[in-house]
Amino acid sequence: NIDFSKVDIAFFAAGSEISKQYVPQIAQQGCIIIDKSSFFRLDPEVPLIVPEANLVALQNYTRKNIIANPNCCTIPIAVALKPLDNAAEIKRIVISTYQSVSGAGRAAMDELYNQTKAKYVFNEVQPQIFPKQIAFNLFPHIGHFSNDGSTTEESKISLELAKIIGPHAKATVTCVREITLADNTINSIEFELGINFFIVNKSENFVGQEHKLINYQNQVEPYDQLENLRAEILDILEKIGIPTIFHCHARSGNLWTLMWLSVIIGSIYFIYGLLQVARSFTLIKVGEWLDKTVAPTIFGYSISASATRTNTAASQLLRDFQTVKTFLTSTGINTLFDAPWSIIYIVVIFLIHPYIGILTLIGAVIIVSTAFFNAAATNRTLGEATEFSIKGMVQADIANRNSEVVEAMGMMKNVTANWHKFNIASLEKQSIASYRNGAISNFSRFIRNIMQMLVTGIGAYVVVSTRGEAMTTGGMIMSSIIVGRALAPFDNAIELWKSMSGAIKSYKNINQLFNAFTSRDEAMPIPHVKGYLTVENIYYATPVPPYLAQPAVPRYILKGISFAVQPGEILAIIGPSAAGKSTLSKVLVGVWKAHSGSVRLDGGEIYRWNREDFGKHVGYLPQGIELFSGTVKQNIARMLENPDPEKVIEAAKIAGAHEMILRLPDAYDSDIGPAGSNLSGGQKQRIGLARAFYGNPKLIILDEPNANLDEAGENILYYLDRFINFITKKTDSNRNDVLQVARSPILFGTYVIIFFVLVGGIWGSCAPLDSAAVAGGIVVASTNRKVIQHHEGGIIANIFVNQGDSVKVGDKLLELEDVKIKSHYESTLSQYRHALATESRLIAERDDKEKIEFPELLQNDINLPDVARIIDTQTSGVVAPGNPILEIAPSNDNLIIEAQVPSRLIDSVHEGLVAKIRFSAFKSRTTPLFSGRVVKLSPDIVQDRSQKAGETVYIARIEINMEEFNRIAKAKNLELHPGMQAEVQIVTGTRTLLRYLLDPITDTMFRSFKEK
């Protein structure tokens, strides 16, 4: 069932049964079959070819499109005897061959090995492959005996020789299976000339009927058969060529030989032409394959890379791909394929004559050096020309997109000049590279022509000086031809370097994209999405291209943005231009990746979401609306080929575009033109809104949704909440009327309106403001704190309590690793036991006592109050002697704040001052502010363990107004416990706003006029 109609030649080496079944079927399809089996060897309509003997018989292959390959013994016999038969007709041939058991397959070789081994140990292995023991024995070859007493193998050789040499050469053949594992030897060939073979009336078989063998299958490896077949094909090609014409024919003088050789060479050139056509067709197929398989991937990557800013030149990738494809499908690629053959040509030239080989090698080195010089001289210039060309194409693309503005405002001259400067720069660079490449390529061609001339001259000198002994005339001419072929690839590479360099650069650009870009389509889809959007502390800065200087500190557009939107909730973000609204929109839909923070939909990170799956759950309207070429319904349905009409109409009605679309010429099937050129700005905006609502997405991002809309169109925004009240929606806008729809507006940017009123300003400047000393603090117990310490130091295995937990008598607080204790204990115990054993022995000798009493180990108990609270625990595992492990305080003890007052502020702090306390540990959106007073101040400075080394503080104890705290804590469900961090502001006095402004000035003046 395999189609061989497009196959020129097929080689079969699979055995007679396979050839019998399949070869005729395949040959009928027009494919030429070269068969290795014995099935077609004796077919009169199938030529049996040994190239050195009967190449002329090859012309008969067209009868069945089959060429047979002879027996392995027939080939060398025919090669040796055919020239003798041509000179003097052979009448009789006597052949004796001895062939190894490997021809009978692996099982036969194993049988010979096992029988031989058994013979030496006086055992016997019964034959399985052969009828009798093969070890230390001889048999006729394979097959049955015929009526004339010959075996099948002997008959094959005899009949094949008659077909190749002629029926006049009668052959008597003896084939014996010898006891070697692998060999194939013809021991004897005898032939007679001019003897009448038919007067012999007896059989020439030398092995009797008693040694008749059963027929068994040949199981030689197919790879060996193909190797032999390949050698025969190479022999056919080796004998056809120019040396045959100039060498054989010049000596024979046979015109018929000249004619047939000319026909054969012409056929070879014809086949060579067909192969060139086939190669060009192959390159075309390569181009088609690239367009079908690689181009869609590069197209998708270029769009994703452009959107995510992975590659700022992503739009150039398709042009780079076209450059690479054009080079791969052009004849220039053949230069690279031909280059490795230059080495073979040079080796052949050396075989013809060393002088010519050395000269060719020198020429090759010169041309290769020229090629490298050409690359160095043109690579950089061609790269600059390509960059200017890309910039020019970008300018042209921008001008075409803004053609209406250019035409209406008379900007044609200026825009053309802006494009022309890049075009001129590219042209200048290309011209410089072309001048250099032209000069170098012509010099290379000059070297190649000189080399061919010198090779011809040296070849003629060798022919004349040695009288044709060292080199023939044909060898001289062939040397000149081969030298040209050897140097041609290097010469062509210089001429084609411009296209090769462009293809290499384009390939590097594509390869860089594939290395830098990571596709997000491999992520697992999330099927059920409800619409919970959470934004947590995101930062985003515009990426700087790698070829520009990177700033020390990123210029963030978004800084610490956090919010959450519930399903059915609308969030409006209002702000001026360049405030970052569009940037936030792109981050929310996962187009751009935030530098830090996270954007999650139902807990899933949006940027890592599978893009195809994420698109089903999101609707997005960018600030600059762009539509695709196609129909209205295709654009609403996100370019689906066969969208659901009900969903399309539903989305259009939600966007208020249904009536507008029905007024178009073909309604929903109307062609909108390239990028929506047949529509107005408002129509495109409405279709873009409908596209965002298509498929009932769970998250809708609208950036400037009311842009380009008239009054009726703006009314659409007021009905969005009514139409889609179950979808999470987010709206970005500069228009304040959107606030009337949004439930949770956010002022985004610097919208701060300041009213300056003279009286209010004077009053505000004179209003008293508290001046305070700010000190960090911590809640501690006022009395009876217990610090648990280890007297020797050790390793903490586990602490069973946390900061803020309540404990009572009997609770297990912590567990220490007993490795060190056990080590000391075991060491001491060992010494103690030794001493006790000695004492026991001495006492037993004295008092006849047998029992030794051990004292009890001392135990240390930690006593706790009835109910206590853990204040602090040691987090590290290893403690030194005296270091705290646990800190415990009674639960009923009063709680106060220990504030650390910097020593520079101690002059303004004293007991009795009012303090404002804020607890940052409370899990509340707004942290309440509590009041207290300073009840105690440490008499001396202490070292602050939480700050950097060297800074000293005073400890101020702050008493909390517990009545106020309990009232607020009960309402907000707050709980105070030791160890909580607190921020304390100790009020040291009051100052007015004018004092805040004037005090630095008066202080400076006072220091300036003060006498020293």
Q: Quick one: angle between helices 317-328 and 332-352, nearest 10?
A: 40
Whether the per-residue pLDDT at 802 is higher than 60: the answer is yes
**Helix or strand holding residue 184 (H, E):** strand 184-193
pLDDT band of residue 767 (cuts 50, 70, 90) is low
The alpha carbon of 703 is separated from its chain's Cα centroid by a whole number of angstroms, namely 35
Contact call for residues 316 and 509 (beta carbons, < 8 A)? yes
pLDDT at residue 137 greater than cutoff 60 = yes
The alpha-helical segments, DSSP class H, found in 309-353 are: 317-328, 332-352
Beta carbons of 785 and 888 less than 8 angstroms apart: yes
Domains of the chain, CATH where assigned: 1-69 (3.40.50.720), 73-229 (3.30.360.10), 258-516 (1.20.1560.10), 533-747 (3.40.50.300), 767-782+894-1012 (2.40.30.170), 783-850+861-893 (2.40.50.100)
- pLDDT higher than threshold 60 for residue 469: yes
Sign of CA dihedral 466, 471, 472, 473: negative
Rounded to an integer, what distance in angstroms lies between the CA atom of residue 55 and that of residue 57?
5
- Residue-level pLDDT at 887: 65
**Quick one: average pLDDT of 125-149?**
75
Q: Is the pLDDT of residue 877 over 80?
A: no
* pLDDT over 70, % of the chain: 67
Query: Residue 946: what pLDDT?
Result: 55
Does the structure show a pLDDT above 60 at 606?
yes
pLDDT of 903-938, one tens digit each?
A: 777 878 888 888 888 876 565 556 677 888 888 888
pLDDT at 460 over 80: yes
**Does residue 236 carry a pLDDT above 60?**
no
Instruction: For residue 938, give the DSSP letter.
Output: -
For residue 131, give both structure tokens.
Answer: 């009828």
Q: How would residue 231 be classed by pLDDT, with cut points 50, 70 and 90? A: very low
Q: Which of 671, 562, 659 is nearest to 627 (CA)?
A: 671
Look at the block and give the residue holding tokens 């194993």: 110
Per the structure block, which two tokens stand in for 646? 């009900």
Q: Give tens-digit pLDDT for 816-867.
A: 766 666 767 777 777 776 776 677 667 767 776 665 554 444 334 455 555 5
Q: Minimal CA–CA distance to 99: which of 151, 146, 156, 140?
A: 140
> What pLDDT, on a 0 to 100 scale, did the predictor assign at position 930?
81
* DSSP letter assigned to residue 591: S
What residues pair up with 387 in beta bridges, in sequence order? Answer: none
Q: How far, in Å, CA of 941 to CA of 944, rounded?
A: 9
**Rounded to an integer, what distance in angstroms lies between the CA atom of residue 812 and that of residue 801?**
8
Of residues 302 and 598, more confidence is placed in 598
User: What average pLDDT is seen over the chain?
Assistant: 72
pLDDT for 769 equals: 55
User: What pLDDT does residue 780 have?
Assistant: 63
Residue 800 has pLDDT above 80, yes or no: no
Question: How confident is the model over 151-194, as pLDDT tens digits?
Answer: 888 888 888 888 888 888 888 888 887 777 655 555 556 666 55
CA distance 48 to 42: 8
What's residue 214's pLDDT?
A: 31
Q: In the block, which residue shows the tokens 């025919």?
A: 78
578 versus 631: the higher-pLDDT residue is 631
Let me know if 347 is exposed, middle or buried by CB neighbors in 10 A (0-12, 13-18, 19+). exposed
Please say if the pLDDT value at position 1005 is more than 70.
no
d(CA 649, CA 632): 11
Q: What is the mean pLDDT of residues 643-650?
A: 84
Give the position of tokens 């370097």: 497
State pLDDT tens for residues 664-683: 888 888 888 877 777 877 78
Alpha helix segments (H runs only) across 466-575: 473-495, 497-516
What pLDDT is stored for residue 598 in this prediction? 84
